[in-house]
Amino acid sequence: MDYEDLITLAIAFGLGMLVGLQRQKSKHEMAGVRTFTLISIMGVIAAFLARDYNNPFILPLLGICLTALLVTANIIKLKKLNDIDVGQTTEVAALLMFAVGAYLVMGDRVVAVIVGGSLAILLYLKEHLHNFIENLKEKDLAAIMTFAGISLVILPLLPNKTYGPLDVLNPQNIWFMVTLIVGISVVGYFIYKFVGKKVGIISNGILGGLISSTATTVSYARKTKDTESISKMAAFVITVASAVALVRVMVEVGVVIPEKLPKLVLPLITVFVLMVLICIGLFYFTNKNGGDEKMPEPKNPAQFKSALIFGLLYGAILLAVAFTKQEFGNDALYIVAIISGLTDVDAITLSLSQLMKGGGLNTSTGWRLILLASLSNLLFKGIMAAVLGTRQLAKWIGVSFGITIVFGLLLMWLWPEAWHL
Q: Tens digits of per-residue pLDDT, 158-190?
A: 998 888 787 778 899 889 888 988 888 887 777
Distance CA 252, CA 357 (A): 13
Q: In terms of domains, do 246 and 366 share one?
A: yes
Taking the CA of residue 316 as centre, how many other CA atoms within 13 Å lie in the half-sphere pointing to its CB? 11
Please tell me the total number of residues recorded for the chain in this structure: 421
Q: In terms of domains, do 151 and 226 share one?
A: yes
Average pLDDT over residues 199-221: 79
Does residue 258 surpass a pLDDT of 80? yes
Q: In terms of domains, do 122 and 197 share one?
A: no
Residue 409 lies in a domain: yes
Strand partners, 169: 163
Does residue 290 surpass a pLDDT of 50? no
Domains in the chain, number: 2
Q: In terms of domains, do 278 and 303 share one?
A: yes
Distance CA 418, CA 421 (A): 9
Where does a domain end: 105, 132, 159?
Answer: 132
Share of the chain above pLDDT 90, in %: 30
Q: In terms of domains, do 20 and 50 share one?
A: yes
Strand partners, 163: 169
Q: In terms of domains, do 172 and 121 share one?
A: no
Where does a domain end: 91, 108, 132?
Answer: 132
Convert 189-201 to b/e letters by CB count within 10 Å (16 or more is b): bbebeeeeeebeb
Listed range (100-109, 291-300, 411-420) with the worst mean pLDDT: 291-300
Residue 420 lies in a domain: no
Which residues, at least 6 apart from 383, have a Cβ–Cβ distance to it below 8 Å?
none
Q: In terms of domains, do 395 and 282 share one?
A: yes
Ramachandran area for residue 27 (φ above 0: left; ψ -120 to 50: alpha; else beta): left
Longest dimension (CA), the chain: 83
Residue 245 lies in a domain: yes
Residue 421 lies in a domain: no
- 347 to 39, 162, 250, 402, 403: CA distances (angstroms): 50, 18, 13, 24, 25
Which pLDDT belongs to residue 350?
92
Where does a domain end: 132, 166, 200?
Answer: 132
Q: In terms of domains, do 83 and 192 share one?
A: no
Residue 419 lies in a domain: no
Residue 19 lies in a domain: yes
Quote the DSSP letter at residue 332.
G
Average pLDDT over residues 6-35: 80
Which pLDDT belongs to residue 30?
59
What spatial distance separates the first Cα and last Cα of the chain, rounded to whole Å?
Answer: 46
Listed range (22-26, 156-160, 166-170, 339-343) with the worst mean pLDDT: 22-26
Q: In terms of domains, do 127 and 194 share one?
A: no
Q: In terms of domains, do 106 and 254 share one?
A: no
Does residue 53 surpass a pLDDT of 90? no
Which pLDDT belongs to residue 129?
73
- 98 to 16, 43, 187, 194: CA distances (angstroms): 9, 4, 33, 34
Distance CA 287, CA 280 (A): 13
57: helix, strand or coil = coil
Q: In terms of domains, do 291 and 385 share one?
A: yes
Q: In terms of domains, do 142 and 127 share one?
A: no
Distance CA 251, CA 248 (A): 5
Residue 336 lies in a domain: yes
Which pLDDT belongs to residue 195?
66
Strand partners, 25: none
Do 199 and 188 form a contact (C-beta atoms < 8 A)? no
Does residue 85 surpass a pLDDT of 60? no
Which pLDDT belongs to residue 383?
92
**Residue 372 belongs to domain spanning:** 137-414
Query: Highest mean pLDDT range out of 200-204, 213-217, 276-280, 306-310?
Result: 276-280
